[in-house]
Amino acid sequence: MKVKPTNCLRCEHEWFPRKSPVKQCPNCKSVNFDMMSGTKPYRDIHQWLKREYGKPEVCESEECEKRSKTYDWSLIDGKRYEKKRVNFQRLCRICHLKYDRHISTSVWASKRKAKALKGKVRTVEQREHLRKVSLGKKMSDEMRRKMVIIRTGVKCSEETKRRMSISAIKRQDRVRAEKALEERKYL
């Protein structure tokens, strides 16, 4: 297969791209690069940091809880990706994620955790602990509907069925009591 020459979107230079969706020639790609796109300068700067200053072994954050064993070079907010040590700081992985405002409770992270735990066999003690931990947590109506859909056709043990029916009865009693209180307020 012959590769057709294309013109760079920035400088109009004719060049032969490889099998990639890149629309810029290699000369323009390194100018004004996007740090999150995985471009070569991003990788080069991190390799330069490791080569010149070594792999970080301490966290420079004041709020560090000293729990992490992994350390990274992190770009300081407002600084540019340049080969300057003053633009970077050493952070442990936990502080780095907090600094970059990563939220581990995001939908994506929850789905990833659920996928990793799906099909995992747990002991009776572990299941009992999980049940006690989640006991008392309010479930939204939408989540309750999803759980009903998920559980249809799923075989449950007699103990699980008994617990589910007891919790359903308690929930119905609670709803009735709340409605009765509402009616009394308006009398």
CA distance 60 to 66: 11
- What pLDDT digit, counting tens, does each position of 91-137 carry? 998 888 888 776 555 566 677 777 777 777 888 888 888 777 777 77
Q: Are strands 6-7 and 14-15 parallel, antiparallel or unpaired?
A: antiparallel
CA 156 to chain centre: 32
CA distance 101 to 74: 12
CA distance 100 to 92: 12
pLDDT number for residue 106: 59
Of the candidates 78, 79, 61, 58, the one whose C-alpha atom is nearest the C-alpha of residue 69 is 58
SS3 label, residue 86: helix
